[in-house]
């Protein structure tokens, strides 16, 4: 039902005037992926992309301080030892692929302290980004890195081209 995808953004706007909003750090509800044909340094190979939610300040600081390579080296440790304080939603993406409206079920919006997108590209590049308080995002995977886009501004730009 189309109405469901608008409920969380409307709720986010309503909460913004509420004092509880300052305690909610992650509103993410869904993510879409727009992967350029030369993403992952033009390798034409699939790559992993994770949505990562931290549920404690310590874990949030730890993930915030990592680059993408360090994060992916620590994924087995997170999945083994920190299942209560970090949530990882995994996607495998291919250059040229587009995925729309992938639902993200966050364990607890009130406990979540931060959210990130991390992609495992070959070589270096900006392959980690902070999501912030946006309920709906587009992850634009480019040749040398990723970018978080607001769907409203993205659709305006796309329609102007």
Q: Which of 48, 95, 40 is nearest to 71 (CA)?
A: 48
**pLDDT per residue over 73-95, tens digit each?**
999 999 999 999 999 999 999 99
* Residue 160 in this model has a pLDDT that exceeds 80: no
> CB atoms < 10 A from the CB of 12, how many?
17
Question: Where residue 35 sits, what CATH number does that domain have?
Answer: 2.60.40.4150
Q: How far is CA 48 from the centre of its chain?
A: 12
* Residue 156 in this model has a pLDDT that exceeds 60: no
Over 79-119, what HEC string results? HHHCCCCEEEEEEEECCCCEEEEEECCCCCCCCCCEEEEEE
Residue-number span of the structural domain to which 112 is assigned:
4-160
Taking the alpha carbons at both ends of the chain, their separation in whole angstroms is 30
**pLDDT per residue over 39-74, tens digit each?**
988 888 999 999 999 999 999 999 999 999 999 999
pTM above 0.75, yes or no: yes
Domain count, the chain: 1
């Amino acid at each position: 039902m189309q109405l469901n995808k608008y409920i969380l953004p409307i709720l986010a706007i309503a909460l913004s005037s509420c004092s509880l909003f300052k305690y909610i750090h992650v509103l993410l509800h869904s993510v879409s992926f727009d992967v350029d044909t030369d993403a992952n340094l033009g390798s034409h190979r699939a790559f992993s992309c994770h949505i990562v939610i931290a549920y404690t300040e310590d874990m949030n600081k730890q993930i915030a301080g990592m680059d993408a390579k360090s994060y992916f080296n620590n994924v087995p440790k997170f999945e083994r030892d920190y299942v209560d304080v970090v949530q990882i939603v995994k996607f495998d993406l291919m250059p040229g692929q587009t995925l729309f409206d992938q639902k993200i079920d966050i364990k607890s919006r009130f406990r979540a302290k931060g959210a990130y997108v991390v992609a495992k590209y070959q070589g270096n590049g900006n392959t980690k980004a902070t999501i912030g308080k946006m309920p709906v995002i587009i992850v634009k995977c480019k040749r040398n890195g990723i970018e978080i886009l607001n769907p409203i501004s993205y659709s305006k730009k796309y329609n102007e081209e």
